[in-house]
A and B are shown apart, each in its own frame.
Chain A
């Protein structure tokens, strides 16, 4: 029974991490690979659809603004008291029979999970969708220890089979068509080709059902932890989150340390805004609240509950000028509305967290060295702040992130020099006036009349897709002076 699901899933190659040698190292470089592709067109369609669903759900819920404010307050207050809340949460988890583990970084978290799984004699781990285990690349660690791990969220299962990467916080295969999935299932699961979504769904159901019922260990993430009660909340639509926490003998929940709220009331506020903002549902299909392992007399549920609490850069973010980003509840609304995300998809961000929130979070978590340009991957249009269910000032955080990374590789050196030169002139009104006059004169020397159609070098970045207005022969200030002296 236990070995049965090791059918074809084991034959796949491990999920590839971002390989800096073969992947462009800049956001723009990665984005250009996907720009205009069918893959990104699918992302844009999906993102727009989720955005519309959100708009409808928000419009029909009269308490939306009240609950947004309450969710925001709960999250901000949790971050301001995080050391105290973590201690209380851990005490409560242990008081209800769970075990708490503290992991400073990804490697430690993976080692803890691997050890628990090995101690449980696990040959097979069933995993429900979790961004934090994507962040730590837990699957590699388990596989390296000879433990098979199967993703059970349909989207993540497709990602795993295809050796792909998720491209959206809540819709991992937004970039994939059903024909891709059809070919993948036919190749990897040995089933007859079908591209009917309902039939693909049934294939996954049958395949994964055996995984759920024979896995020794279930691994999940955590959507919300409640400090007052030691409760772990999981939110899923498919039911995989319930299966991996109900059928296997051991449940391991990995939690980013910032997932907490203090009270049940605050958790309720987060739940009321989470699904509405993410998919436009009033609630996701399954909201599971787990408080400790199976209790005496319980007919089912795991005998052991382990909660692995992960720092992995979060305490550094907490002490930084972008601490507010830790309030994120991972609904994905900021991705769906973002004009940049819609055009480039999630893979361009290079890390597991994409979109505006990822552009702030990734350099903050991992340091600016590799990610300095991410905060610049935004037009600062502010649509993300408008939809954020916990009111995170994402444009403000993107600006703060730019200030953090501008001089550490974030700002292209030529642009940096240009902005600095501009600033030097702007600080002196006389120089400014002369510069405007000079620009007006120079502009006359450029070919043509009216708009400038083409410029060399840095200028081409603009003129490749837009004409450039010609500096006015007489600036406003010159005209003003003339008018006043004439009057």
Chain B
């Protein structure tokens, strides 16, 4: 259908129906009590089955290696820009294989490339923000930041500078609404992949990672 015809049908009805007037409202961040952001973030992430690990930037490599070891992961799909200096080379020096993150344009190559993600053990990403209220991490994707790193593997490790933890999703979006338009893909991740479709029994890891570890980097 033509756009004009479609919109004309909407316009013809838009004032005809019975619609209550919108109540007067405020915009911006909602009023929530002050909390210790880092503490709340870690607690809430734990409640939904994620794991928070607080550490100094200098200990980050050790922490990541420990986590990879814990999950027996030797290959990692990682973002290029991570908030720890020389992280990639340090990991490689420790024997961790870093996978190519860019998807080929060619259809056949693309399929083969994606096939490589079938048994992927771990993904390593940064995070644009942490949300204390919900224990979420916000990931903005773009060059050097593959979406699949936080989705395809069994384990997702996100590196979150503590200073980036804000009160809630509404606070994050109110502070910078344009953030959603600056990337083709912004995702808010709140715990490990889960479903309760079968008899309302909570089951972890139906499609996305079964484990999410957020390394909260003390950057104060």
Contacts and interface: CB of A to CB of B under 8 A. Distances in A.
Touching chains A and B, CB distance < 8 Å = yes
Given A86-B7, A171-B197, A264-B180, A238 B206 contact: yes
Interface stretch (B53-61, B86-94, B135-143): B135-143
A32 interface: no
Q: Which of A45, A173, A174, A319 has the most CB of B within 10 A?
A: A319
Contact of B112 (A1, A272, A283): A1
Interface stretch (B30-38, B64-72, B157-165): B30-38
Interface in B121-157: 131, 133-136, 141-148, 151
A102 B201 CA distance: 39
A247 interface: yes
B9 interface: yes
B169 interface: yes
A171 B3 contact: no
A128 to B, nearest CB: 10
B142 A268 contact: no
Contacts of B199: 42, 46, 177-178, 197
Interface string B6-38: 110111111111111111111110111100000
Contacts of A317: 17
A320 B18 CA distance: 6
A28 interface: no
B147 A246 contact: yes
Contacts of B108: 1
Given A243-B151, A285-B194, A265 B180 contact: no
Contacts of B220: none
Interface string A153-172: 11100100000000000011
Interface string B67-98: 00000000000000000000000000000000
A79 B19 CA distance: 8
A96 B178 CA distance: 13
Interface stretch (A16-24, A294-302, A422-430, A447-455): A294-302
Contacts of A283: 131, 134, 136, 169, 188, 190
A171 B196 contact: yes
A319 B195 contact: no
A471 interface: no
A197 B31 contact: no
Contacts of B151: 239, 242-243, 246
A73 B33 CA distance: 23
Given A1-B111, A315-B10, A298 B187 contact: no
A67 B207 contact: no
B207 A264 contact: no
A1 B186 CA distance: 29
A74 B118 CA distance: 41
A316 B14 CA distance: 9
B44 interface: yes
Contact of A316 (B13, B107, B178): B13
A271 B13 CA distance: 28
A366 B209 CA distance: 41
Interface string A246-289: 11010000000100000111011101100000010111111111
Contacts of A200: 198
Interface residues of B, number: 93
A205 B206 contact: yes
Interface string A183-222: 0000000000000011011001100111011100000000
Nearest to A95: B181
B192 A285 contact: yes
Task: Give the secondary structure class of B's interface.
Answer: loop
A324 B184 CA distance: 32
B19 A76 contact: yes
A2 interface: yes
A74 B108 CA distance: 44
Nearest to A46: B200
A431 interface: no
B131 to A, nearest CB: 8
**Residue with the highest number of chain A CB atoms closer than 10 Å, among B32, B131, B141:** B141
A69 B23 CA distance: 7
A324 B133 contact: no
Contact of A205 (B19, B192, B207): B207
Contact of B14 (A81, A100, A173, A286): A81
A229 to B, nearest CB: 4
B193 A70 contact: no
B121 to A, nearest CB: 14
A309 interface: yes
A77 interface: yes
A301 B1 contact: no
Contacts of B27: 70, 263, 265
A298 B143 contact: yes
Contacts of B195: 154-155, 201, 237-238
B189 interface: yes
A81 B44 CA distance: 38
Contacts of A176: 198
B166 interface: no
A83 B3 CA distance: 11
A309 to B, nearest CB: 7
Interface string A121-160: 0000000000000000000000000000000111100100
B18 A324 contact: yes
Contact of A96 (B15, B115, B181, B193): B181
A268 B17 contact: no
A323 interface: yes
B203 A197 contact: yes
B177 A264 contact: yes
18 contacts: A69-B25, A73-B24, A76-B21, A103-B1, A108-B1, A177-B199, A201-B205, A214-B111, A240-B206, A246-B147, A247-B114, A249-B107, A263-B177, A272-B169, A311-B1, A317-B17, A318-B16, A323-B19
Return the 3 tightest CB-CB contacts between A and B, nearest first. Answer: A239-B208, A319-B13, A323-B17
